Amino acid sequence: MGELDGRVACITGGTRGIGRAIAEGFLAEGAKVVINGRTPSKGEATLADMNAGDNAHFIAGDVTQQSVCESLVDQTVEHFGRLDIMVNNAGGGGDPAMLADMTDDAWNFVMNWNLNHPFWCTRRALKYMIPQQSGRIINVSSMYGKMAIPGVPHYITTKHGLNGMTKAVAVEVGEMGITCNALCPGGIVTDVMEEQGPGAAAAIGMEFEEFLDMMAAPTAIKRLNEVEDVSLVATLLASDAGAGITGSLISIDGGTSPY
Amino acid sequence: MGKLDGKVAVITASTRSIGRAIAEKYVAEGAKVVISSRSADKGATALEEMGAGDNAHFIACDATQQGDVEGLIDATVDHYGTVDIAVLNAGGIMNAAPIAEMTDENWDHALSINLNHTFWGMRRALQHMQPKQSGRIIAISSVEGKLSKPTIGHYSSNKHAINGLVKVAAHENGTQGITVNAILPGLVLTDMFHETGPATVEAMQLEGGLDALASMFSAGSAIKRPNTVEEVAAVALMLARDEAKNITGCLFPCDGGTMPY
Residue B162 lies in a domain: yes
Q: Is A171 on the interface with B (CB under 8 A)?
A: yes
Contact call for A255 and B255, based on CB within 8 A: no
- Give the closest residue to A244 by CA, choosing from B18, B83, B27, B66: B18
CA distance B241 to chain A (A): 10
B30: containing domain: 8-188+228-253
- Position A198 in a domain: no
In this predicted structure, what is the pLDDT of residue B1? 85
Assigned domain for A233 exists: yes
The Cα of B244 is separated from the nearest Cα of chain A by a number of Å equal to: 6
* Total number of domains in chain B: 1
The pLDDT score that the predictor gives to residue A226 is 98
In a domain, A217, yes or no: no
* Residue A48 domain-assigned (yes or no): yes
Contact A220 B259 (CB under 8 A): no
Q: Are the Cβ atoms of A244 and B241 closer than 8 angstroms?
A: no
**How many domains does the structure of chain A reveal?**
1
Query: Domain for residue A1, yes or no?
Result: no
B149/A86 Cα distance (integer angstroms): 35
The CATH number assigned to the domain holding B25 equals: 3.40.50.720
Domain extent at residue A130: 8-188+225-252
How do residues A60-75 score in pLDDT, each as one tens digit?
999 999 999 999 999 9
Interface of A with B in 220-249 (CB under 8 A): 220-223, 225-226, 228-229, 232-233, 236, 239, 241-249
- Reported as a single tens digit per residue, the pLDDT across A217-237 is 999 999 999 999 999 999 999
Any CB–CB contact under 8 A between A93 and chain B? Answer: no
Give every CB contact of residue A154 below 8 A, 6+ residues apart in sequence: A94, A102, A106, A107, A110, A111, A114
Residues in chain A closer than 8 A to B189 (CB atoms) = none
Query: From first to last of its 261 residues, what are the pLDDT tens digits of chain B?
Result: 899 999 999 999 999 999 999 999 999 999 999 999 999 999 999 999 999 999 999 999 999 999 999 999 999 999 999 999 999 999 999 999 999 999 999 999 999 999 999 999 999 999 999 999 999 999 999 999 999 999 999 999 999 999 999 999 999 999 999 999 999 999 999 988 999 999 999 999 999 999 999 998 899 999 999 999 999 999 999 999 999 999 999 999 999 999 989
| DSSP letter (8 states) at residue A51 | T
For residue A258, the model assigns a pLDDT of 86
Distance CA B16, CA B43 (A): 9
With respect to residue B259, please indicate whether it lies within any of the assigned structural domains: no
Chain A contacts of B256, Cβ < 8 Å? 174, 244-247
Alpha helices in B14-84 (DSSP H): 17-28, 40-50, 66-80
Residue A164 lies in a domain: yes
Q: Is residue B213 part of a domain?
A: no
Is residue B26 part of the annotated active site? The answer reads no
The answer to whether position B127 is within a domain reads yes
Does the residue B260 lie in any domain? no
Provide block-wise average pLDDT over 10 residues at a time, chain A (259 residues): 96 97 98 98 97 98 98 98 98 93 97 98 98 98 97 97 98 98 96 92 94 96 98 98 98 94
Please tell me the distance in Å from B126's CA to the nearest CA on chain A: 15
Residues of A with Cβ-Cβ distance to B249 under 8 angstroms: 220, 254-256
Determine, yes or no, domain membership for A86.
Answer: yes
CA dist B138 to B170, B230, B247, Å? Answer: 11, 16, 11
**Which pLDDT belongs to residue A79?**
98
Asked if A170's CB is within 8 angstroms of B231's CB, the reply is: no
Which residues from B are below 8 Å from A248, CB to CB?
A: 253, 255, 257, 259
The answer to whether residue B196 sits within a structural domain is no
Q: What is the rounded CA–CA span in Å between residue B87 and residue B140?
A: 7
- Identify the pLDDT of residue B126: 98
Q: Is residue A82 part of a domain?
A: yes
Query: Which of A167, A181, A236 to mutate to test binding with chain B, by most B CBs within 10 Å of its CB?
Result: A236
- pLDDT of B19: 98
Q: Is residue B82 part of a domain?
A: yes
Specify the pTM: 0.96
